[in-house]
């Protein structure tokens, strides 16, 4: 069994090139993709999340670790799909209508991917109808919305209403986040969960799906 410590370290240190090179060489030497993900990369991202929660890591460290994870995953994704690996769930994510802030949303999307989720990123300025359409087309079981402006927060409520009207509200767990969002607001609009950070969003998504099963 290959020593996976350098891959774990590369992700913890946010070294995208080292992570990518390690995976490339490991695959060329005949390594199976799944253990690389499950035994090194996902635990490394879990550790990144833990360090973030105890203020050892901050947003810049999250961003570079997520980028390293992404660059290694790009090599692995087609192989995992070909081997029929089941994603943890399928998430449709976007920044709500009227809002163009995407740094936090991108971080959440990358961390969710790192956590084994299949992520459909709709980008920014996403209308309630676009969320509904994506849920139907992609068969998502999680909708994750981000808002950074107090003026765009109501679009989260609008999206939940649109999901209800389209008859798909029960199919999905709705998770919300972004600087002005609070647990109180999430409760008021009928969301299933709220997180104030990206690693927390991954734990929340896992918890919500486990509760649904
Ligand atoms: Co704007 N902006 N901005 N801005 N901007 C804020 C948000 C603001 C607080 C600045 C301020 O006034 N102090 C303010 C909002 C005030 C308010 O609504 N009360 C503001 C404003 C007013 C505006 C404009 C209106 C300015 C103007 O044009 N007059 C305009 C609006 C444009 C629009 O969206 N329609 C605007 C524009 C911009 C830029 C384009 C210049 C740029 C965005 C670039 C980009 O995103 N590509 C920008 C930026 C960079 C900011 C600040 C400085 C930083 C935001 C950021 O990226 N934070 C911001 C001030 C601030 O927040 N300190 C500000 C880092 C990021 C990692 O954190 O996004 O909070 P965050 O994400 C976190 C968590 O919130 C959580 O996890 C992430 C990682 O831990 N999270 C989720 C986020 N989404 C989640 C979803 C989940 C779960 C967790 O789902 C489950």
Q: What is the chain's mean pLDDT, rounded? A: 93
pLDDT-derived band at 103, boundaries 50, 70, 90: confident
CATH of 90-212, one of 3.40.50.280, 3.90.580.10, 3.10.150.10, 3.40.50.720: 3.40.50.280
The yes/no answer on whether domain 5-82 falls in CATH 1.10.1240.10 is yes
Distance 16 CA to ligand 1 centre (A): 25
pLDDT, tens only, 20-74: 999 999 999 999 988 898 899 988 988 998 999 899 999 999 899 989 988 998 8
pLDDT, tens only, 139-172: 999 999 999 999 999 999 999 999 999 999 999 9
Torsions phi, psi for 134 (to 5 deg): -65, -40
Q: Is the CB of 59 under 6 A from ligand 1?
A: yes
Ligand 1 pocket: which of 65, 148, 149, 207 to mutate (most atoms within 8 A of CB): 148
Distance 179 CA to ligand 1 centre (A): 7
Instruction: Report domain extents, the chain.
Output: 5-82, 90-212
pLDDT, tens only, 190-203: 999 999 998 899 99
Q: Is 133 exposed, middle or buried (0-12, 13-18, 19+ CB in 10 A)?
A: middle
pLDDT confidence of residue 1: 66
Distance 210 CA to ligand 1 centre (A): 31
Secondary structure (3-state) at 109 = helix
Secondary structure (3-state) at 193 = strand
């Amino acid at each position: 069994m290959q020593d996976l410590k350098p891959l774990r370290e590369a992700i913890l240190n946010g070294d995208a090139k080292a992570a990518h090179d390690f995976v490339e060489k490991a695959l060329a030497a005949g390594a199976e993709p799944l253990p690389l993900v499950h035994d090194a990369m996902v635990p490394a991202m879990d550790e990144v999340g833990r360090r973030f929660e105890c203020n050892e890591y901050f947003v810049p460290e999250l961003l570079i670790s997520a980028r390293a994870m992404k660059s290694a995953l790009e090599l692995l994704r087609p192989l995992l799909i070909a081997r029929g690996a089941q994603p943890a769930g399928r998430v449709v994510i976007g920044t709500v209508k009227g809002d163009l802030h995407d740094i936090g949303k991108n971080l959440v999307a990358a961390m969710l991917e790192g956590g084994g989720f299949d992520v459909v990123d709709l980008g920014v300025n996403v209308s309630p109808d676009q969320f509904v359409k994506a849920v139907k087309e992609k068969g998502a079981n999680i909708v994750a919305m981000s808002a950074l402006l107090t003026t765009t927060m109501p679009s989260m409520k609008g999206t939940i209403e649109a999901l209800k009207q389209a008859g798909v509200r029960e199919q999905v767990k709705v998770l919300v986040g972004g600087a002005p969002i609070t647990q109180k607001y999430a409760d008021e609009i009928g969301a299933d969960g709220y997180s104030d950070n990206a690693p927390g969003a991954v734990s929340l998504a896992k918890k919500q799906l486990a509760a649904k099963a």
